[in-house]
Amino acid sequence: MARAFCRSVAAALLLVSAAPARAGFPDHAVHIVVPYPPGGSVDILGRQVAQRLSAAWGQGVVVDNRAGANSVMGSNDVAKAPPDGYTLLINASSLVINRYLLKTPYDPDTDFAPVALLAKGAMIVAVTPRLPAQNFTELVGLARARPDTLNFAIGSNGSPGHIATERLMRSVGIRLFIVPYKGSTPAYQDLVAGQISGMVEPALGIMPFIKSGTIRALAVTSAERIEALPDTPTVAESGVPGFESYSWYGLWAPGGTPPALVAALNGEVNGVLRGAELRAQLAAQGFAAQDGTPADFTTLLQAESRAVGEIVRAANIKAE
């Protein structure tokens, strides 16, 4: 009953738009572009959302992996697509970060229409078991005693993990030696082997290593502990009150998409994100499903852009 009502509201919103939106949307397959290779956190989340949107709409929702240039290639494909709701983008905070590192062929403020914040993921402060630090406080003590000697990996320059690491160093007054990798997977391998001291990484990717005991989790960067690691304290609990840092994931349409269609897409996506099964799956992976308006998402994008710009300038982060 509630579902039928939501569909009626969405149809009404579409009808009032003079643009390409129509009550029968969608009447053919929708493509969601994931600008990364298969298997990563954005791809996994994208497929979970796409599967449920397909069931809700009774139409195919195809996930297209279009990787390249730190998500720029796939994002640009969506920026240049017709603003009719049939081509959408799922991306991470890289869309905001890239504006400070790369000359992109699109304007992130005008060439995309924010639809919905899908999920926020905690970052995990993790170390090799060979490091003597058993908790976050001990890690900070080691770093203060040995500045610039603890090697902390990042998947790439300007990655969400890199930004979180810089935030952490600024908040607690320590200096870590940053080691850029070409992706997180080789960093995990070196962390397991003890070749590097630690890293700050989105929960989804590093979780299997923590569960297996080959990497030690010291703290999570979210405001509250996460369901997937209930015994791991937050950074805030560990002596840094108010500290928060997330890897977040959103859905965008091309710029110029009619506001009524954006609102309807937002309603459908939020309906999917409220599903108990998906919320449980996301929680197990370290994500927190979100539920907000396009305006809410736009506000977050603006705040994140300001914060990231300040960090990139202060840390003199450059593209690889």
Answer whether the bond into residue 26 is a cis peptide, omega within 30°.
yes
For residue range 103-159, list pLDDT tens digits in order.
Answer: 999 999 999 999 999 999 899 999 999 999 999 999 999 999 999 999 999 988 888
Q: Are residues 207 and 111 in the same domain?
A: no
Q: Are residues 110 and 153 in the same domain?
A: no
For the chain, how many structural domains are there in total?
A: 2
Q: What global pTM score does this model have? A: 0.85
Residue 270 in any domain: the answer is: yes
Residue 227 in any domain: the answer is: no
Indicate the SS3 state at residue 249: strand
| Phi, psi values for residue 10, rounded to 5° | -60, -40
CATH of the domain at 157: 3.40.190.10
Q: Are residues 116 and 145 in the same domain?
A: no
Q: Burial-class residue 223 by CB neighbours within 10 Å (0-12, 13-18, 19+).
A: middle
Q: Are residues 25 and 92 in the same domain?
A: yes
For residue range 213-272, list pLDDT tens digits in order.
Answer: 999 999 999 999 999 999 999 999 999 999 999 999 999 999 999 999 999 999 999 999
Residue 240 in any domain: the answer is: no
Q: Are residues 103 and 127 in the same domain?
A: no
pLDDT value at position 23? 64
Residue 233 in any domain: the answer is: no
Residue 238 in any domain: the answer is: no
Residue 260 in any domain: the answer is: yes
For residue range 55-110, list pLDDT tens digits in order.
Answer: 999 999 999 999 988 899 999 999 999 999 999 999 999 899 999 999 999 999 99
User: Residue 34 belongs to what domain range?
Assistant: 2-120+247-315
Other CB atoms within a 10 A radius of the CB of residue 57 amount to: 16
CATH of the domain at 271: 3.40.190.150
Q: Burial-class residue 225 by CB neighbours within 10 Å (0-12, 13-18, 19+).
A: middle
What mean pLDDT is reported for the chain?
91
